[in-house]
Amino acid sequence: MVPKFLLIGFILFNFLGYIRAGVTSSFIRSEWPSVDIPLDSDVFAIPSGYNAPEQVHITQGDYDGKAVIVIWVTPVEPGSNQVKYGKTEKKYDFTAQGTVKNYTFYNYTSGYIHECHINDLEYDTKYFYEIGEGESARSFWFQTPPKIDPNASYKFGIIGDLGQTYNSLSTLEHYIQSGAQTVLHVGDLSYADRYQYDVMGVRWDSYGRFVEKIQAYQPWIWTAGNHEIEYMPYMNEVVPFKQYLYRYPTPYAASESSNPLWYAVRRASAHIIALSSYSPFVKYTPQYQWLEAEFKKVDRKKTPWLIVIMHAPIYNSNSAHYMEGESLRAAFESWFVKYKVDVIFAGHVHAYERSYRISNIHYNITSGVSYPVPDKSAPVYITVGDGGNQEGLASRFNDPQPDYSAFREASYGHSTLEIMNKTHAFYHWNRNDDGKKVETDSFVLQNQYWNKSIRRRKLKKNYLHSTVPTRQLDNV
């Protein structure tokens, strides 16, 4: 049986370098107003009980998926730092000890932020955990991923620029229905920096409570966006990413990174690289050196899928943030092609856009083409900055649609990438269509390394040069 999306998701592609014109969707949806949900709403409810743990969220805690970091906040006093956990509900055979920190931001003082690393978990296992004390104790659960295995199937969600509006809530609710197991969050989380003074910290707290119903149960792999920078000299707050880094730790040391803002994890059959668009990345910088080394560590025989996440998109044809990814493209694009990255997810632009497989790596300031050309080794670039934050949609696309752009639409939504095995993954973009979940853009993603026809074709390269292939149905 051929699923419907296999039929609607195809792309025509031509080897001569002329790509079929992309699609700009004219769909206009009536949206919720782009305002944050009021602080007294139920979605931000403070859990009952004295000093009850709140804002519970988890992320992967090691390189290969056998560890979890649990983060939570206690509002009144530090309280217990422990996570009790085990494989049976309400029966916790193990405990792990965390650390606690607090900070000030202007005249806001944070609650007590706990960070607890749970190590040596078994793969593919459901764990129950409890934090807090006595009447205020709260319990949750999570499922560890399968062991690193080239054939492992796994379903990722991709969310960007989420914020805390009614549109954000709609995105979260649709995401919950997707059945995905881990979120790749491409940056811009709370949009607390849209406020000033002590309200900024307050909006980080409300965001933490808002997303807890998902983030306490499955890991989110996050990367920082520009809204995390919070460089605010007028408040004498000049340490970039301060609040974000207190609240959203990453397992960066496990991938030999020197900084929590860029790191990699391996999960099931995927190797995921999280980059920082707003940290130095040119040659000789720590991020550049780290990425160079990390790409060499990728073993497609163990993790066939190579995914990169970052905040600012490289191929974006929206008038919002146009070309902001250009400097990072100049630094890293040739590696993305050389290492055959399967797909790159970014956010920042509050709309959806997908590229063809193209690259722009031949220009060397002396000669060579200086525009994007079809490139079978290049990743697909997908922008999903459409989580639903208070800045609203970026609805002005550049006209005409550039050749590299396959599909674009200014609506809120989220994506899923369902890896089936080492050769095939199903990709969907789901628009939040007036309260319903609508699959709008979908295709079969073929693995860039385990594609037999590409490897065969390579051997016959010289013959291919002289032939002019006809237009063909192509998967990306």
CB of 111 vs ligand NAG, minimal distance in Å: 9
For residues 213 and 186, the answer to whether their CB atoms sit within 8 Å is: no
The size of the chain, in residues, is 476
Does 115 engage in binding with ligand NAG (CB under 6 A)? no
Q: How far is CA 369 from the centre of its chain?
A: 31
Does 226 engage in binding with Fe ion (CB under 5 A)? yes
Looking at beta carbons only, is 131 or 394 nearer to Fe ion? 394
Does 225 engage in binding with Fe ion (CB under 5 A)? yes
Does 143 engage in binding with ligand NAG (CB under 6 A)? no
Q: Which of 104, 285, 319, 370 binds ligand NAG (CB under 6 A)?
A: 104
Looking at beta carbons only, is 438 or 454 nearer to ligand NAG? 454
Looking at beta carbons only, is 108 or 252 nearer to ligand NAG? 108
Q: Which of 87, 155, 194, 424 binds ligand NAG (CB under 6 A)?
A: 424
Residue 475 binds which of Fe ion, ligand NAG, none (CB < 5-8 A, kind-dependent): ligand NAG
Q: Which two tokens stand for residue 425?
A: 């993954």
Q: What is the CA radius of gyration of the chain?
A: 22
Looking at beta carbons only, is 51 or 411 nearer to Fe ion? 411
**Residue 196 half-sphere exposure toward CB, CA atoms < 13 A:** 4
Q: Which of 86, 279, 421, 439 binds ligand NAG (CB under 6 A)?
A: 421
Per DSSP bridges, beta strands 82-86 and 126-131 are: antiparallel
Does 107 engage in binding with ligand NAG (CB under 6 A)? yes
Alpha-carbon distance 431 to 442, whole Å? 11
Does 372 engage in binding with Fe ion (CB under 5 A)? no
CB-based burial, 25-59: b 16+ in 10 Å, e otherwise: beeeeebbebebbeeeeebbeeeeeebbbbbbbbb
Does 218 engage in binding with Fe ion (CB under 5 A)? no
Q: Which of 48, 177, 364, 466 binds ligand NAG (CB under 6 A)?
A: 364
Angle in degrees, CA 161, 9, 334, rounded to 5: 60
Helices 198-215 and 166-177, axial angle in degrees (round to 10): 20
Task: Please pick, among 114, 185, 321, 414, the residue that the annotation labels catalytic.
Answer: 321
**Residue 115 half-sphere exposure toward CB, CA atoms < 13 A:** 14
Q: How far is CA 270 from the centre of its chain?
A: 13
Alpha-carbon distance 33 to 165, whole Å? 8
Does 469 engage in binding with ligand NAG (CB under 6 A)? no
Residue 185 is among the residues annotated as catalytic for this protein: no
Q: Which of 366, 466, 467, 470 binds ligand NAG (CB under 6 A)?
A: 366
Looking at beta carbons only, is 348 or 422 nearer to Fe ion? 348
Binding positions for Fe ion, rule: CB under 5 A:
188, 225-226, 348
Binding positions for ligand NAG, rule: CB under 6 A:
102-104, 107, 109, 149-151, 197-198, 362, 364, 366-368, 376, 420-421, 423-424, 446, 451-454, 474-475
